[in-house]
């Protein structure tokens, strides 16, 4: 709807508001005096939907750049041979938890970089908000934002189910009621392909359709063992061999938390995971040049930023925390929920006031105030009040202090939160040193689907590139 810009903007002679002036405290520009509240909320809902369409279009045009280099990945790739065996289109996705995009500039990752040099590499991949492990791994595997797939944090409370999700408690978190959307390993099985999942967050969810092969999460499994499992899967006969394989690799994240992004052990972990990629590449080459037959996609879920006690915000200095339902502490991102809605409002106003008065380094949002670009509003599991620390700062309590040297969870546009994307194989063109323009990780599901010819229903994901790799500029 187009509204004419006219001289009637603003306050009319009788003191009522008219035209485009925004009524104070309202989110709609379109409300006319006397509109009932219900109708007003319907208008707002429509406006939110319009905004979403606009936002998607805006994102698509922001990311589309030079059509010269747009490369369609063949939708139904052909069967390839390594000389002795036929291979259906196959993709291996390796996710390195907490591997910040600029870690690749440290000269420690020649094998990871070789994937990009032989195929495509993005300047970086943008994680979804909040930049945490479970929401992002499930976004990558479903193509949906956390507010769409429902895993809105690593720990959260669902007011409808009156239960909480905790990624560390399998009996709570693997119930399929938590997990929305359709992960790629399930899409593969639905479409008569086979999938293999090694420890990928969400892979253990007990949804009715399970991956064909699954290695459960447990500590103490080295990244080399995971590469050996992949190679063993590739050695299976064609009719048993998985075509979509996803692998979760935790080492760089855990050392990043314990020793910080610049810690010696983080550097060592980077070198180790890179060597493991070298072992995988050697294994592929030793199988008659499978590196030219199998698509490899290397990603991470988010980055890592250095934190110190000098940059802790002790939120219990400002609010009574005794009646918070669930807190995900030691995070830049703090969810606030109490049984009593009035109390929640009190906390909101208190935090807002002290923040404004003392210029404290965080933002306080009611759920409906969370910036649109986070795509983090439309789900009851998102707490009614969300506090987000400024880059480099963390929210903690006096009794908890700070037990880590690195963290993540901030604004997904923050440089330290950037993730990696690179890919090689028959579905990916070789762009040489030219880097792909950054894109959001909700694009990944369709990229993976396209490499192996899986069909994706129109509008089934929050991606806007339809499975094409984003264009370099
Ligand atoms: Zn992570």
pLDDT band at 472 (very low <50, low <70, confident <90, very high): low
434 C-alpha to center of ligand 1: Å?
Answer: 27
pLDDT of residue 469 exceeding 90: no
Give the pLDDT mean for 459-466.
88
241: its two tokens = 């061999």
C-alpha 404/C-alpha 257 separation (Å) is 5
- Report how far residue 59's alpha carbon sits from residue 51's, in angstroms, rounded to the nearest whole number: 12
DSSP 439-451: EEGGGHHHHHHHH
Query: In the annotation, is 133 catalytic?
Result: yes
Are 257 and 405 spatial neighbours (Cβ–Cβ below 8 Å)?
Answer: yes
CA of 146 to the centre of ligand 1 (A): 14
303 CA from centroid of ligand 1 (Å): 8
- Out of 90, 131, 133, 212, the active site residue is 133
Distance (angstroms) between ligand 1 centre and the Cα of 201 equals: 10
How many other C-beta atoms lie within 10 A of the C-beta of residue 429?
A: 15
Question: Residue 340's Cα: distance from chain center in Å?
Answer: 31
Sequence-separated (6 or more) residues with CB below 8 Å from residue 415 = 102, 303
* Percent of the chain whose pLDDT exceeds 90: 68
Q: How many residues does the chain have?
A: 473
Q: Look up tokens 């972990």; give the residue.
A: 269
Report the alpha-carbon distance of residue 316 to residue 448 in Å, rounded. Answer: 44
| Residues 342-381: b if buried by 16+ CB within 10 A, e if exposed | ebbeebbeebbebbeeeebebbbbebeebeeebbbbebeb
DSSP summary character for residue 322: T
Q: Which residue has the tokens 């440089």?
A: 415
pLDDT tens-digit map of 32-67: 233 333 333 333 334 444 445 545 555 555 555 443
In terms of Cβ atoms closer than 10 Å to its own Cβ (0-12, 13-18, 19+), residue 268 is: middle
Give the distance (Å) from ligand 1 centre to CA of residue 97.
4
pLDDT, greater one: 466 or 410: 410
Task: Kindly tell me if the per-residue pLDDT of 302 is higher than 50.
Answer: yes
Residue 328, pLDDT score: 62
In this prediction, residues 3-25 reach a mean pLDDT of: 29
Residue 329 pLDDT: 57
Q: How many angstroms separate the alpha carbon of residue 419 from the centre of ligand 1?
A: 10
pLDDT at position 326:
66
Mean per-residue pLDDT for 429-433? Answer: 79
Judged by phi (left if over 0) then psi (alpha if -120 to 50, else beta), residue 150 lies in left
pTM for the full predicted model: 0.86
66, 424 Cβ separation under 8 angstroms: no
| Alpha-carbon radius of gyration of the chain | 24
Q: To which H or E segment does residue 164 belong?
A: strand 163-166
Between CA 130 and CA 144, with CA 139 as vertex, the angle to 5 degrees is 105
CA–CA separation, 194 and 323 (whole Å):
47
Place of tokens 């009593």: 340
Q: Is residue 398 classed exposed, middle or buried when 0-12, 13-18 and 19+ CB atoms within 10 A define those classes?
A: exposed
In angstroms, the CA 329 to CA 331 distance is: 5
**For residues 375 and 462, is the Cβ–Cβ distance under 8 A?**
yes
Q: Mapped to the 3 state alphabet, what secondary structure does 240-303 carry?
A: CCCCEEEEEECHHHHHHHHHCCCCHHHHHHHHHHHHHHHHHHHHHHHCCCHHHCEEEEEEECCC
Q: In what order do the strands lie in the sheet with 421-424?
A: 120-121, 421-424, 294-300, 90-96, 244-249, 195-198, 213-215
* Cis amide bond preceding 241, omega within 30: no
CB under 5 Å of ion ligand 1: residues = 97, 133, 253, 301
What mean pLDDT is predicted for residues 425-439? 84
pLDDT at 254: 97
Q: Using the mean position of ligand 1's atoms as its centre, give its distance from the Cα of residue 226 in Å.
A: 18
Cα–Cα–Cα angle for 415, 375, 261, rounded to 5 degrees? 25
């Amino acid at each position: 709807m187009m509204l004419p810009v006219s001289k009637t903007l603003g306050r009319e002679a009788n003191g009522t508001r008219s035209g485009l002036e925004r009524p104070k405290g309202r989110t709609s520009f379109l409300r006319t005096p006397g509109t009932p509240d219900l109708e007003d909320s319907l208008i707002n809902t429509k406006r939110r939907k319009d905004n979403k369409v606009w936002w998607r279009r805006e994102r698509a045009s922001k990311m589309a750049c030079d059509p010269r280099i747009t490369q369609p990945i063949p939708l139904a790739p052909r069967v390839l041979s390594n000389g002795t065996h036929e291979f259906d289109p196959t993709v291996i996705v390796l996710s390195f938890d907490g591997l910040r995009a600029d870690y690749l500039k440290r000269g420690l990752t020649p094998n990871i970089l070789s994937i990009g040099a032989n195929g495509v590499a993005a300047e970086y991949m943008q994680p979804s908000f909040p930049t945490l492990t479970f929401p992002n791994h499930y976004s990558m595997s479903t193509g949906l934002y956390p507010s769409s797939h429902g895993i809105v944090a690593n720990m959260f409370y669902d007011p409808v189910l009156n239960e909480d999700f905790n990624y560390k408690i399998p009996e709570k978190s693997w119930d399929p009621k938590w997990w929305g959307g359709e992960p790629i390993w399930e899409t593969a099985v639905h479409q008569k392909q086979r999938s293999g999942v090694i420890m990928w967050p969400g892979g253990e969810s007990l949804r009715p359709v399970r991956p064909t092969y699954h290695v459960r999460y447990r500590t103490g499994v080295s990244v080399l063992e995971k590469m050996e499992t992949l190679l063993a899967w590739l050695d299976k006969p064609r009719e048993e061999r998985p075509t979509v394989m996803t692998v979760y690799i935790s080492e760089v994240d855990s050392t990043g938390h314990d020793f910080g992004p610049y810690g010696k052990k983080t550097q060592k972990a980077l070198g180790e995971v890179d060597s493991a990629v070298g072992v995988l590449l050697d294994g592929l080459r030793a199988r008659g040049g499978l590196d030219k037959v199998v698509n490899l996609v290397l990603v991470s879920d988010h980055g890592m930023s250095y934190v110190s006690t000098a940059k802790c915000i002790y939120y219990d200095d400002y609010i009574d925390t005794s009646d918070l339902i669930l807190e995900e502490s030691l995070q830049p991102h703090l969810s606030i929920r109490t049984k009593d809605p009035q109390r929640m409002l009190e906390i909101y106003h208190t935090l807002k006031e002290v923040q404004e008065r003392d210029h404290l380094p965080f933002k306080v949002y009611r759920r409906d105030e969370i910036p649109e670009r986070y795509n983090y509003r439309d789900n009851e599991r998102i707490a009614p009040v969300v506090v987000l620390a400024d880059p480099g700062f963390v929210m903690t309590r006096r009794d908890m202090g700070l037990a880590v040297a690195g963290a993540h969870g901030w604004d997904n546009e923050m440089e330290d939160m950037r993730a990696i994307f690179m890919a090689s194989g028959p579905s990916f063109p070789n762009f040489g040193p030219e880097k792909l323009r950054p894109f959001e990780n909700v694009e990944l599901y369709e990229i993976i689907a396209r490499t192996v010819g899986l069909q994706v229903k129109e509008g089934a994901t929050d991606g806007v590139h339809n499975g094409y790799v984003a264009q370099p500029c």
